Structure 1
Amino acid sequence: MSGHTADIPFEADREVPGLIVKFGDYPLHHGGVGAIRTLGRLGVPMYAITEDRRTPAAASRYLRRAFVWPTTGAENHARLVEGLVRIGRHIGRPTVLVPTDEEAAVLIAEHQDALRDHFLFPPVDPDLPGRLASKQGLHELCLEHGIPSPATVSPRSYEEIEEFAEKASFPVVAKNREAFVRRRRPAVNGTTRIASREGLLGLARDWGARPGVVLQEYLPREEAEDWIVHAYFDAHATPLALFTGVKVRSWPPHAGMTACAYIVDNPELADLVTRFVKQIGFSGIVDLDLRFDRRDSRYKLLDFNPRMGAQFRLFENDRAVDVVRAMHLDLTGRAVPKGDQLTGRRYVVENIDLPALLAYRRSRYTTPHAPRRASGTELAWLAGDDPLPFLTMTARLVGPGVKHLYRLWRTSRRAAH
């Protein structure tokens, strides 16, 4: 395993803590554990917001304190800001914020003035993270700046859906228009493939008078490859760390969280993302999903997450820099060492990759750009220097966790006909 203190050729500012900020009830989040470990191994004091004291994050040896704060993500912003400020006062010194979801990233951007006295975070246009997290807002930005993306419509009524259904080529994909509705009353559960006009109209009857969805062109997986980009951009929208990789498996299959991925060099994709981020002026960590459409040889941007991605620990360069370390170094006034990404490195999320592997074998789908052999493997949960999060995850997975995985799989199978 890379990234241990003896392997790190730079020093972080150990006087500046980090705080993992998450809103919503998803205790089995490997990304938060990864962020606690990656900064904790540098000697950075780490804190985290957790649902309870029995989450994997709370069990990490690198966590100084878990602030137990159950939230849904749908709370009033004033209440969330007040709670963050209270935590900042308790820590008692400027602290780098590491958001793990869109709710946290947007809240921090929109309330920078209220949080600045207690926390460090990249400066960004207050409205930009919200636009990027919105499927409609992202599509509009892609059109404005000439970035390929799936054809997208945002119907405002059932009548508009009927008009769309008369002309559309099926299948199509339905997604919630705004990222945050998954915490409230989502119209659809994640990415939903709809096979026919009748299927669309049947689903749409439950979406209400003002459907909160976008309908997108379906990019067939048989003619596509799923790519991911993780990067950290400074206050001038310059990439201080940028990585490209290919997603091999996800759960639910083909439409969910990364279960297995590899670092793969892709200069064309790196240039595309660098240009787009410079054009929109974003600063901070990004996690992007793109699909390469072999029918027209273009990379089409599906998701722009303006925060740390759960699988960020896949990506590291030969100077032991990942995007979370890059942000902490930059915000504390230290240089971010340049280096080459560790091409061929593999990332596996233990609790979801086995069911994903079985599903992908049945479908006989393979990713052409995936290396035949990994140059090294980073596990999401298991770490020799920090074993308790893995054990805690395993204990919580039994029973309710298995049922949750099954529900995700069933949701992914419910294509409307």
Structure 2
Amino acid sequence: MLVAIKGATVAADRSVPGLIVKIGDYPLHHGGVGAIRSLGRLGVPMYAVTEDRWTPAAASRYLRRAFVWPTTGTERAEELVEGLLRIGRRIGRPTVLLPTDEEAAVLIAEHGEQLAGTFLFPPVERELPRRLASKQGLHELCAEHGVPSPEAAFPGSYAEIEEFAARARFPVVAKNREAFERRRRPAVHGTTRIAGPRELLRLARGWGEAPGVILQEYLPREEAEDWIVHAYFDAESTPLAMFTGVKVRSWPPHAGMTACAYVVDNPELADMTAQFIKQIGFCGIVDLDWRFDRRDGRCKLLDFNPRMGAQFRLFESETGIDVVRAQHLDLTGRKVPEGEQLAGRRFVVENIDLPALAAYRRSGYTTPHAPPRANGTELAWAARDDIKPFFTMLARFVRPGARHLWQLWRARRAAAATGEGEQATGR
């Protein structure tokens, strides 16, 4: 099917559906809605795994069917694979898989032989997504290939934490070492800034005999900028779509998921990303978080998400390509049109950007590389041609969501008062 988008023509194979795959309970996920719209507007039949029938994704006019399948992330892999295969049989034809979380991306990579034929997905090396999603695995890969990243330690016992506390320069940041720990019993919730050795030792007493944490160098926000890279790489690790931008606001402030971001060209960062991907041999969609450290003038890799990011619709090329469209075109044997990214575009997540804006104005923090005004705005939820997901989001968000935002804000204020720092959640 040929679909004209902003003066460009995108040729999509609408005989091959797409399936949004998620593991866990996070119904208010705008990335899934964005993917449904992105391919649905090209005439691609779209399906999605949803927690229930009243999620924003299930309300999209571009969704052919929602498969209600509540999961927690604690299920056995065999159970999850069989559930996916059941959905595949009900769709009845080969379908492109679009994972929205690390668990789903790792599951698909590690069980590719069982899923092949029923589904289409990039032929990534079996163990690579799990290693990239792990903080320790990513740090080791960065060190191996000379990619800048924050200094980090991986203590294996309380005694090693005591040794670290005696020599470390504070503040430091504590994160869960493995990506999936939040499903079980995480040592820390999100990203926790720790002001000094006393606080570290007090927290570490609750981490057990084998603390599953990474203790990382703190990059002060006053001396740093958050950059994001979204891209799609083919089976030869060649970038068919590459985009760069800056995160202007997040929620919780300075440490959470993107609330507002702008497209900003950064060829050096794009080249660094492409080289790293080529070295490790990854293929598929990536969502990378980099932090530019003004103190030494280097971009340091913080996170590598081996799947689409929730804010991927920030980025689109002059030929109408985003990373989700690039993957579908490539896996169905279609050419991905080349084109520069649309500079100056802005992405806003309506339900979290308002409190984030208020918090950032109070702090006085700004992002120097953000353009003074947007050249077009992409909203996460509201769309003229697909408005139901926006109202469904509001219905689910307003009461419990407002309470959750207030609780996060109070926790952040309390943490700041005690010097224990910033926490981050989200995708």
TM-score range, shorter chain: over 0.9
How far, CA to CA, are the matches of 2:393 and 2:186 in structure 1? Answer: 27
- Structure 1 residues 178-222: Cα deviation after superposition (integer angstroms, max 9, x where no partner): 111112111111010000111101111111111111000000011
How far, CA to CA, are the matches of 1:106 and 1:255 in structure 2? Answer: 24
Q: Which amino acid aligns with 1:174?
A: A
Q: Is contact 2:99-2:308 (8 Å) kept?
A: yes
User: What SS does structure 2 have at the residue aligned with 1:399?
Assistant: helix
User: What SS does structure 1 have at the residue aligned with 2:320?
Assistant: coil
How far 1:406 moved relative to its partner? 2.6
Q: Which amino acid aligns with 1:75?
A: E
How far 1:5 moved relative to its partner? 5.4
Paired residue for 1:405?
405
User: What SS does structure 2 have at the residue aligned with 1:179?
Assistant: coil
How far, CA to CA, are the matches of 2:311 and 2:216 in structure 1? Answer: 25
How far 1:404 moved relative to its partner? 2.1
User: CA 1:297 to 1:5, structure 2 compared with 1: closer, same or farther past 3 Å?
Assistant: closer
How far 1:410 moved relative to its partner? 3.9
Q: Is contact 2:6-2:320 (8 Å) kept?
A: no
How far, CA to CA, are the matches of 1:302 and 1:93 in structure 2? Answer: 38
1:316-327 correspondence runs (5 A): 316-327=316-327
Q: Is contact 1:106-1:129 (8 Å) kept?
A: yes
User: What SS does structure 2 have at the residue aligned with 1:98?
Assistant: strand
1:280-319 correspondence runs (5 A): 280-319=280-319
How far 1:9 moved relative to its partner? 0.6
Q: Is contact 1:248-1:261 (8 Å) kept?
A: yes
Paired residue for 1:384?
384
How far, CA to CA, are the matches of 2:411 and 2:335 in structure 1? Answer: 45
Paired residue for 2:126?
126
User: CA 1:367 to 1:304, structure 2 compared with 1: closer, same or farther past 3 Å?
Assistant: same
How far, CA to CA, are the matches of 1:369 and 1:168 in structure 2? Answer: 32
Paired residue for 1:213?
213
How far, CA to CA, are the matches of 2:320 and 2:407 in structure 1? Answer: 37
How far, CA to CA, are the matches of 1:4 and 1:247 in structure 2? Answer: 30
Residue 186, structure 1, aligned to residue 186, structure 2? yes
User: CA 1:337 to 1:252, structure 2 compared with 1: closer, same or farther past 3 Å?
Assistant: same
User: What SS does structure 2 have at the residue aligned with 1:10?
Assistant: strand
How far 1:402 moved relative to its partner? 1.5
Q: Which amino acid aligns with 2:253?
A: P
Q: CA RMSD in A?
A: 1.1
Query: What 5-or-longer segments of structure 2 have no aligned partner?
Result: 421-427
1:129-278 correspondence runs (5 A): 129-278=129-278
How far, CA to CA, are the matches of 2:87 and 2:124 in structure 1? Answer: 22
Residue 25, structure 1, aligned to residue 25, structure 2? yes
How far 1:8 moved relative to its partner? 4.6
Residue 54, structure 1, aligned to residue 54, structure 2? yes
- Structure 1 residues 203-254: Cα deviation after superposition (integer angstroms, max 9, x where no partner): 1111111111100000001111100000000000000000000000000111
Paired residue for 2:346?
346
How far, CA to CA, are the matches of 1:271 and 1:6 in structure 2? Answer: 27
How far, CA to CA, are the matches of 1:202 and 1:376 in structure 2? Answer: 48
Q: Is contact 2:8-2:318 (8 Å) kept?
A: no
Paired residue for 2:64?
64
- Structure 1 residues 337-363: Cα deviation after superposition (integer angstroms, max 9, x where no partner): 000101100000000000100110111
How far, CA to CA, are the matches of 1:386 and 1:209 in structure 2? Answer: 51
User: What SS does structure 2 have at the residue aligned with 1:296?
Assistant: coil
User: What SS does structure 1 have at the residue aligned with 2:89?
Assistant: helix
Q: Which amino acid aligns with 1:67?
A: F
Paired residue for 2:369?
369
How far, CA to CA, are the matches of 2:82 and 2:227 in structure 1? Answer: 38
Q: Is contact 2:5-2:319 (8 Å) kept?
A: no
Q: Is contact 2:96-2:328 (8 Å) kept?
A: yes
How far, CA to CA, are the matches of 2:314 and 2:35 in structure 1? Answer: 12
Paired residue for 1:79?
79
Q: Is contact 1:255-1:412 (8 Å) kept?
A: no
How far 1:310 moved relative to its partner? 0.1
Q: Is contact 1:4-1:41 (8 Å) kept?
A: no
How far, CA to CA, are the matches of 1:258 and 1:166 in structure 2? Answer: 35
Q: Which amino acid aligns with 1:308?
A: M
How far, CA to CA, are the matches of 2:67 and 2:285 in structure 1? Answer: 23
How far 1:311 moved relative to its partner? 0.1
User: How many residues are matched?
Assistant: 415
- Structure 1 residues 244-270: Cα deviation after superposition (integer angstroms, max 9, x where no partner): 000000001111100000000000100
Q: Which amino acid aligns with 1:191?
A: T
- Structure 1 residues 47-82: Cα deviation after superposition (integer angstroms, max 9, x where no partner): 000000000000000000000000011211000000
Q: Which amino acid aligns with 1:223?
A: E
How far, CA to CA, are the matches of 2:112 and 2:150 in structure 1? Answer: 33
Q: Is contact 1:189-1:411 (8 Å) kept?
A: no
Q: Is contact 1:23-1:73 (8 Å) kept?
A: yes
Q: Which amino acid aligns with 2:390?
A: F
Q: Which amino acid aligns with 1:136?
A: Q
How far, CA to CA, are the matches of 1:354 and 1:122 in structure 2? Answer: 37
Q: Which amino acid aligns with 1:224?
A: A
Q: Is contact 1:241-1:323 (8 Å) kept?
A: yes
How far 1:407 moved relative to its partner? 3.1
Q: Which amino acid aligns with 1:229?
A: V
Paired residue for 1:13?
13
Q: Which amino acid aligns with 1:245?
A: G
Query: What 5-or-longer segments of structure 1 have no aligned partner?
Result: none
How far, CA to CA, are the matches of 1:400 and 1:13 in structure 2? Answer: 40
How far, CA to CA, are the matches of 1:91 and 1:168 in structure 2? Answer: 54
Paired residue for 1:107?
107
Identity of aligned residues (%): 76
